[in-house]
Structure 1
Amino acid sequence: MYVTQLSALRNYWYVIARSGDSTPKSVRLFGQDYVLWQSEGGEPVLTQPFCPHRGADLATAAIVVDKLICPYHGWQFDINGRCTAIPQLDPGLPIPPKAKLATWPVIEKYGLYWTCVGRPAVPGPPAWLEADELQWEIHVDFFEPWNASAFRIIDNNLDQSHPAFVHQNTFGNPNAPLVPKYELHRTTMGFRSRIPQQVGGVGPQMGIVDEDRSFSRIQEAELLGPLHTRIRLEYGGSPPDYCFYSTATPVDDTHSIYIRCSALAGDSTSQPYELFHSYSRRVVDEDRLVLEATNADFPIDIKSEVHLRCDLTTLEYRKVLARIDRTDVGQASTKLGDAPGDLRQTSP
């Protein structure tokens, strides 16, 4: 299945820009074009890409206070899409009712702008425990275009067996490919798993230069939404923990924007961000190399692939997408997953 074929995905929230990016700017989502702009007061809005008068590209428009000014004929639009002024209109005549722009809501959260171009199934982006409640130090690590399906990016975030081979130049060990047994717990919006791991090479993510040191940790992997994940790495309090909050914005079937934010439990001395980010760059590049060569047609029929014991998270991800596919796309109450419950790891 391609991302544009799963219509219900449009009912969720996706990152379209970093907070503070200059606007107006072109945005592409599910193969359709939009324009993001914000008033001088900072209120953002997403609109249709072309002026309803003669089709000018509004990404090249000017912004004057709280108005978007069409570069072709100077028509003015407010953040609600209403045309407020037409320079060529004869005095005394009303503005034509069709002189307006379609608009979509934009929310600013975690240093990012998010939008929903469907009928919102949820009121906003998935909540992030480490940022919202624990108040860890937050960074937007990566915001970059990838030539990969958004499904493949999220599936990779949840995959437990690829690090041994994909990340063997950072923290993976091809001589230890077996994944410990683990359980999976369904949540209202997806699922969560806790997986014990023994890893080396990850010292820089905790402020430790020595990449040969080995650590025992628990990886908590959670699906927060159809294209949203949370991965927390727990080290028992020393060294400090960290958490990745990731999403893949579906530009179209074969292109995505990969976004990853990090929350660090340590301070700038115990967990220096520059060291953390430099190491993260190496890890992410390893993922990207593989994912940009994967098939964008992502199977959600679990009978179409071979599954192993270690694939519990990625198998459940396919089941989640299949359940979404079976829902009524028009229902704003669309939810991921079933009632919470424990799923024990068994052979598929």
Structure 2
Amino acid sequence: MSSPGVFANLTAQRACWHPVAFASEITDRPAHADLLGEPLVVWRGADGTPRAMSDLCVHRGTALSLGWVKGDELVCAYHGWRYGADGRCTAIPQKEDPAAVPAKARVAAYRAQERYGLIWVALDEPRWPLPEVPELEDGEWIIVPAGPYRWRCDAARQVENFTDFGHFPWVHPGLLGDPERPVVPPYQVETDGHVLRYQIVRPEAPNSDDFPVFANEQAGPPERRSRYELHLPYTIVLRLGWGGQRGMVYFFASQPVAADQCVGYVVIGRNYNTDQPDRVIQEFEDTIFGQDQVVVESQRPERVPFDLAAELHLKFDAVAVAYRKTMRDLGLAASDAIGITAK
């Protein structure tokens, strides 16, 4: 079994897009990020295009994120070595001919893109594209970012919590659920390659006076219509409706920092409450994720046990069962989280 914080058997996860930062956080200074245990430096070229490389200068192992951007290159803060977007060192100022650079003077460069207000990185050729969420790009919906949410657990635990219907009345009473109506309605999960699709109509709490973020207006027990797409390994598109024209889209993605650390990013689109300050919904998300964090960080084992015999599953846990099975089938499950048996 690998040590805490170290991933094992994650070739398949390297070939996936993962978020590493909000796009607004990557400006004219390089920034550090960790992905699947790899230290990265994320920066923008002269045209604003995001770039990602190993955050270790090949010369003395200094963090390149301590340096600065000059033109279309990244400069190391220790000795001034310069690197292009492909990771190749382009200049060594200590030499009489700075351009006479050894061929091995280069660092690993990775694919990066900016979409949905996030910077995404893939360490190997991606197996799948990012999900299509036109509501977040058509310019007609109000877009609100929330987070990042840094948790001491693996990203799969954070994702499973997001999709767990049974905990809403107990962890989020009066906000996402009603303890007087805890029954999870029946639903089906369809598996389409690396995407799980499911929808549910369930009871929810009335709109909170503190957080009037939802669009339910009917008298009596409100119902929410939720359509989920879980794009493995760690991205969720959730579309909410209340039977009318008003709609909300939750876009959630978890960054697998290390085997025992993750960062969750939320981007929310809605076509109502256009004058409401962003802070209202951001404070709502901070509250929800804060309530969840205490519970999820207490879970043992810290990493999701992908062996279905390791935990008790009931019918309303269909998402977790499908998620764990498909993660294993596609080789996306960490090897040290497999094979745990029930006690």
Please indicate, yes or no, whether the TM-score normalized by the shorter chain is above 0.5: yes
TM-score by length of 2: 0.86
Q: Which amino acid aligns with 2:179?
A: P
**Contact 2:153–2:303 under 8 Å retained in 1:** no
Name the residue aligned to 1:341. Answer: none
The match for 1:4 among 7, 20, 32 is: 7
Question: Separation in 2 of the partners of 1:130 and 1:308?
Answer: 34
Query: Which stretches of structure 1, 4 residues or longer, exceed 6 Å deviation after superposition?
Result: none
What is the 5 A alignment of 1:60-99?
60-91=66-97, 94-99=100-105
The match for 2:120 among 98, 108, 114 is: 114
Q: Does 1:323 align with 2:329?
A: yes
The match for 1:20 among 5, 17, 24 is: 24
Q: Which amino acid aligns with 1:206?
A: F
Name the residue aligned to 1:44. Answer: 50
**TM-aligned CA deviation for residue 85 of structure 1:** 1.6
Q: Which amino acid aligns with 1:4?
A: F
**Contact 1:24–1:36 under 8 Å retained in 2:** yes
The match for 1:206 among 206, 214, 222 is: 214
**Contact 1:18–1:112 under 8 Å retained in 2:** yes
What is the 5 A alignment of 1:299-314?
299-314=305-320
**TM-aligned CA deviation for residue 168 of structure 1:** 1.4
Name the residue aligned to 1:215. Answer: 222
Structure 1 stretches lacking a partner, 5+ long: 330-348
Indicate the SS of the match to 2:156: helix
Name the residue aligned to 2:158. Answer: 153
**Contact 1:206–1:276 under 8 Å retained in 2:** no
Residues 84-127 of structure 1: CA deviation (Å, up to 9, x unaligned): 222122349832111122100110001110000123112x4222
TM-score by length of 1: 0.85
Structure 2 stretches lacking a partner, 5+ long: 336-343
How many residue pairs align between the two structures? Answer: 324
Q: Does 1:241 align with 2:244?
A: no
Question: Separation in 1 of the partners of 2:310 and 2:166?
Answer: 19
Indicate the SS of the match to 1:304: coil
RMSD: 2.7
**Contact 1:67–1:78 under 8 Å retained in 2:** yes
Call closer, same or farther: CA 1:125–1:313 in 2, change over 3 Å.
same
Question: Separation in 2 of the partners of 1:318 and 1:61?
Answer: 41
**TM-aligned CA deviation for residue 252 of structure 1:** 0.6
The match for 1:258 among 264, 274, 285 is: 264
Calculate percent identity across the aligned residue pairs: 27
Q: Which amino acid aligns with 1:235?
A: W
